Structure 1
Amino acid sequence: MRDDQPVLFFDSGVGGLSVLAPTRRLLPHAPIVYAADSAGFPYGTRTEAEIAARVPALLGRLVERYRPRLAVIACNTASTIALDAVRAALDLPVVGTVPAIKPAAALSRTRVIGVLGTDATVRQPYVDRLATEFAADCTILRHGSARLVALAEAALRGDAPPAHALREILAGLLDQPGGDRMDAVVLACTHFRLLDAALAAAAPRPLMLVDGGDGIARRIAHLTQGQGWPVASAQGAAVFTRVGDEERALAPALARFGLGAPELL
């Protein structure tokens, strides 16, 4: 293992930055390659078959090119559909991102939990299994929102999300039977953590917004324990499967996360 071998983060867009941020805090000298499948974005509106075929193929190309020490699928949709296939195909540790139902159940007092994700994620049997294993005594409400993914991407380009739009999205959970008792919301899309302050401000009452970013960062630190890192941190690479005006507009936000301007994969 060379000290300069990177940790690879993969997402359909910029949502994975919400996983990269806590990882940077724990491992400030880790070389980073952040890969976004901008040509396939958004995953939440694609079919399971498309994602199951696309994600392992792209990660195979990325691993061949960058030789990372570890890969992180920083995307709930890709993880719930393609994680097993990626692990079977790659000869290196692969960390997935799954809805944080377990920590939400530990926090909830009312035992009503919302799962806010993409349409593709909230309908996955994986969510059913997590609910059965970790929140069997809870009522689980689900709502899928492709619009919130787009709002998060736009926010990283400098366009603040309209409060009324966020209120409408939250109403998809709050207006369901039992929604008046919901006290915790699982942000089951890595994009959504990028809007947590705006979501909290738009909510009609206090809600605990729960995601798995910190836990994933701890898992990465555990799997790389004892490995060498460069003495000083360096700018990470950002590679996208499409680089147009929208992707180039992300450059200032990427710089805030310690990444260079988008490059074409």
Structure 2
Amino acid sequence: MAQRFSRIGVLDSGIGGLSVLRYIHRMLPNHPTLYFADQAHLPYGPRPAAETRAYVTAITRFLLERGAAVIVLACNAASAASLYDLRRQHPDIPFVGMEPAVKPAAAATQTGVIGVLTTRTTANGALYRRTLERHAGRARVLTQIAPELVTIAESGSPNTPENRTIIRRYVEPLVEAGADQIVLACTHFPFLSETIQEIAGTNVTLIDPAPAVARQVARVWPKGLMPSSAPNTYYTSGDPASFQMMLKRLIGVEAHAGYAHPG
């Protein structure tokens, strides 16, 4: 078994979870993180929930073996497919998942219409249905499944004419239907927020749940457990060199990324 440290494990299908990781680093700068990008199986969104669950279960084991004291499913699709099962399997480990930020959107809307940009696994999951039942209230919620946006975020080039056309195809119908709040219900989507905002216009507010997730990580860190002095660590099941470039481009981190393929 690998050497154990007390640190925060973070997983995603790719670079999307970095949008959450950057807030964890800001809020908990003395808590080392271990990030796993499962780029070999990107994207999770269109996959059957059982398949995603198998990948996430293997990565969770990988993170636990390396001392994760808290695990963040920094991926809406992974949360939808796996969060409840993982909490049952590992009752002593705090798991923090991504819940679409419908509650703040419903509280803020002036038009009574909320748009949710998401992926199929998230939209079809019990977690999303429960979130709508608990928090949508009287707001009309428009669920827009946008799998191509994950690929665009991974490309790092949202502003090519072709990619802007694709983003516009998903965003404009929400705005035309009256949405004044758009929930970014996939951790990849905040990396497209500048382009999405330009298309949606200044009367629309984009809601990113990442800051709230970082606050929850701080709340559930085990009391009395000292974080280790280990460095922040990165793994991918894809191409490490490419992932290192995205790390620097997206969150300004220069670090080595290792290769691993759990399971």
Measured against the shorter chain, the TM-score band is 0.7 to 0.9
Show the 5 A alignment for 1:245-260: 246-253=242-249, 256-257=252-253, 260=255
User: What amino acid sits opposite 2:61 in the alignment?
Assistant: G
> Which residue is 1:264 aligned to?
259
> Which residue is 2:107 aligned to?
106
> Which residue is 2:74 aligned to?
74
User: What amino acid sits opposite 1:68 in the alignment?
Assistant: A
Preserved CA contact (<8 Å) 1:73 1:79:
yes
Residues in 2 aligned to 1:222 and 1:151: alpha-carbon distance in whole angstroms: 33
* Deviation of the 1:239 alpha carbon: 0.5
User: What amino acid sits opposite 2:237 in the alignment?
Assistant: T
Across the aligned residues of Structure 1 and Structure 2, the Cα RMSD in angstroms comes to 2.4
Aligned CA distance change for structure 1 residues 151 and 57 (closer, same or farther; 3 Å): same
> Which residue is 1:10 aligned to?
11
Aligned CA distance change for structure 1 residues 140 and 251 (closer, same or farther; 3 Å): closer
Scaled by the length of structure 1, what TM-score is found?
Answer: 0.86
Preserved CA contact (<8 Å) 1:99 1:127:
yes
Residues in 2 aligned to 1:188 and 1:163: alpha-carbon distance in whole angstroms: 24
Residues in 2 aligned to 1:121 and 1:202: alpha-carbon distance in whole angstroms: 24
Residues in 1 aligned to 2:247 and 2:52: alpha-carbon distance in whole angstroms: 26
Partner SS state of residue 185, structure 1: strand
User: What amino acid sits opposite 1:228 in the alignment?
Assistant: M
Show the 5 A alignment for 1:205-224: 205-224=202-221
Q: Percent identity?
A: 32
User: What amino acid sits opposite 2:11 in the alignment?
Assistant: F
Residues in 2 aligned to 1:160 and 1:51: alpha-carbon distance in whole angstroms: 26
1:129 and 2:130 are equivalent in the alignment: yes
Aligned CA distance change for structure 1 residues 38 and 12 (closer, same or farther; 3 Å): same
Preserved CA contact (<8 Å) 2:7 2:227:
no
> Which residue is 1:161 aligned to?
159
* Deviation of the 1:237 alpha carbon: 0.8
Residues in 2 aligned to 1:62 and 1:227: alpha-carbon distance in whole angstroms: 17
Preserved CA contact (<8 Å) 1:141 1:173:
no
> Which residue is 1:237 aligned to?
233
* Deviation of the 1:244 alpha carbon: 5.7
* Deviation of the 1:87 alpha carbon: 1.5
Preserved CA contact (<8 Å) 2:46 2:147:
yes
Scaled by the length of structure 2, what TM-score is found?
Answer: 0.87
Q: Name stretches of at least 5 consecutive residues in structure 1 with no aligned partner.
A: none
* Deviation of the 1:83 alpha carbon: 0.4
Residues in 1 aligned to 2:251 and 2:210: alpha-carbon distance in whole angstroms: 20
1:56 and 2:57 are equivalent in the alignment: yes
> Which residue is 1:196 aligned to?
193
> Which residue is 2:139 aligned to?
138
User: What amino acid sits opposite 1:74 in the alignment?
Assistant: A
Partner SS state of residue 78, structure 2: helix
> Which residue is 2:89 aligned to?
89
Deviations 1:2-55 (A, max 9, x none): x95111100000111111111111111111111111111110121112112221
User: What amino acid sits opposite 2:213 in the alignment?
Assistant: I
Residues in 2 aligned to 1:245 and 1:263: alpha-carbon distance in whole angstroms: 9
Deviations 1:152-179 (A, max 9, x none): 1111xxx343366345434435426x84
Partner SS state of residue 188, structure 2: helix
